[in-house]
Structure 1
Amino acid sequence: MDTREFAVAAEEAGMRIDAFLAGRCAPELSRARLQGLIAAGDATIGGQPVTAAKRRVAERDIVALRVPPPEDPEPDAEDIALAIVFEDADLIVVDKPAGLVVHPGPGNWTGTLVNALLHHCGRDLSGINGVKRPGIVHRLDKDTSGLLVVAKSDAAHRSLAEQFAAHGRDGRLTRSYLALVWGTPIPHLGRIETLLGRSSSDRLKRAVVTQTQPDARQAITHYRVVSGLHEASGVEASLVECRLETGRTHQIRVHMAHIGHPLIGDDVYGSGFRSKVNALDDRAHGALARFQRQALHAAELGFVHPISGETQCFTSDVPDDFRELGAALGIDLP
């Protein structure tokens, strides 16, 4: 048990105890975490327990705080191989393969990235809100490959969460994806802005919706055709780079389908293009049959390091299955 004591200075008198402790314990402990400790009886003033976060402190009060060691996580640690791009005491960047679920959930309680990180990071996890667990600040769909950053400490988790909440509008975060799509978007450089919400026909899907839908959220995607106008396979297809200005569930997949160019292999949002498959030549048809996922890869990830303040940028080459499909379609890949 970690116990800390603080004497209240004159300029701190009258502050709420949660605000006072936040000022003394930042960035290690968040205010929400401190409020939980206070409610649990882990804070005292003059030796007397305080359970109300709104309690005011007075000059010369001695405030003590007990910080229990992080609890063991509920998911089991599993020895699953990871492609680690970067790691230090505060965060880890992994290159996620297609097929790996990020977080345990119904139907996927084991074999996830979180299970793998619990095994890999082990004692290095300092605890997120009091639990030894990796801090997931963004996710990739199960069948999307590419770069993903995960926090290993509370302080890193808060900073990265703030950067992802801003979606790059403050210049700290950059994300780009490569997608193979049916056809070639015109113009070759564009901005897609819609409202996204739950589909009225399928609760597991997202859709472009009107503002009247309660869960409607603004979604903005910038796209650029990298390589297109290829018909060597018998069907026109393109390689498109997408940069996110917002981060909604399935955003790129829904947006590209919305403009008439769904991702190749996306049976959820590109089912109307199944007839295209029949027009492919034998090589392309075979490559697509082996692909078995949507053609989306998180190729670039940049952010400001939560502790050092340095700007860091990572890139990931498209995986072999993506490259094989692109080659079979006659598309030049970087």
Structure 2
Amino acid sequence: MEASSASRFRRTWILYAMLLPGIGFALVFNYMPMLGLVMAFQDYQPYQGFTGSAWVGWKHFEQIFTDPFAPKVIGNTVIISGLKIIFNLLVPLVFALLLNELRHMKVKSTIQTLVYLPHFLSWVILSGILLDVLSIHGIVNEILNSLFGVSPIMFLGDGDWFRVSVVASDVWKEFGFNTIVFLAALTAVNPALYEASEIDGANRWKQTLHVTIPAIMPIVVVVATLSLSSILNGSFDQIFNLYSPIVYDKGDIIDTFVYRTALQSGQFSFATAVGMFKSVVGLLFIAVFYRIAYVYADYRIF
């Protein structure tokens, strides 16, 4: 047995060697920074370091629930992330169903490519575009004013409109990429089901309702349940590049709050506690929703 294992390793060692860069990357950027979590239990002072800073136990975690702004930040994160999850599920699903009805393959592939392109643009680039487009004198307000007589709207300067703008821009950026998942599921639907329903007199709308949607429902359940695990991720890149102090009340999320608290206010321990709280809750969500996906859609990683 040992000889067999040794000979197999000699044949496949190059494959293990190819894993080393990835393992090293994970160790350096994912696991080594976790040593800094001790700051959540200390009154951390940079000039004293980990060893010299005083231990305060659960003080900073208790502060999360007593700080007047922390619960509001958590609420903003859940609302913004929840809306993103809902619309990033519904819009790609509907678009995939509509795109699936096209019979001209060149037109279909062209549309799919065009809506897929924004996914590759960073939020640094897109935020610069959105700041101009959605400004008081931007093209969107100009169109609304000239066609409908609507007064200029502060899309990124009003808390409620900020949430709408954030969710809409995120859906616009990502729905083309998410559509691919549902298009792949649609290709697996048995064509015989459509033929049988057509013989029974079902039109395309009824075929969609009674054949297509039930057939892809398992993948919809998987995508929905697994996306719920990111309920506390509001997309730091997007929010950070679009928000301003006047929308903190309804636009500030956990990640931006941690950034400001740690790097701008110097409250490293409290910011670490908030980030650790988010990570623990997120881990619990992942475990729960993975179990739901396994029970209701028979989805498993291993």
TM range (shorter): under 0.3
Normalising by structure 1, what TM-score?
A: 0.26
Q: Which one has more relative contact order, counting CA pairs under 8 Å at least 6 apart?
A: 2
What's the TM-score, normalizing by structure 2?
A: 0.28
Q: Which has the higher strand share?
A: 1
